[in-house]
Amino acid sequence: QVQLVQSGAEVKKPGASVKVSCKASGYTFTGYYIHWVRQAPGQGLEWMGWVNPDTGTTKYAQKFQGRVTMTRDTPITTGYMQLSRLTSDDTAVYYCARIQRGGSGLDPWGQGTLVTVSS
């Protein structure tokens, strides 16, 4: 079945970087964009950006421009989201999700990766 499996929880110090992976299976990896979404504790969902697994093209939310990098490794059908210069405000669960071709539905979602930023 179509599935996205993310890497495990991370604890980082302020100023560090984190890289979260998203392993896709059950479909043609290069056929669907991967979006990244985060959710801080007790807060709502926040869109971060997307990567086109076929071309590597990316689009980032303005808020994260210059601090986020989304990449993919096509042979191993895995997407990555790297966030640098972390602060405590970046403590959140980070999700990857596949978006429908030509549509607006994010499905499926990864299980989420908790990133904790603490000194």
> What does the binding site for another protein look like in residue numbers (CB under 8 A)?
35, 37, 44-47, 49-50, 59-63, 95, 97, 100, 103-107, 109-112
β-pairing, 113-117 vs 10-12, is parallel
Contact 34, 79 (CB under 8 A): yes
Q: Please state the closest distance from residue 97 (CB atom) to another protein, in A.
A: 8
Q: Please state the closest distance from residue 111 (CB atom) to another protein, in A.
A: 6
Nearer to another protein, 66 or 103 (CB): 103
Q: Please state the closest distance from residue 8 (CB atom) to another protein, in A.
A: 15
CA neighbor of 99 nearest in space, from 12, 21, 34: 34
Element holding 4 (H helix, E strand): strand 3-6
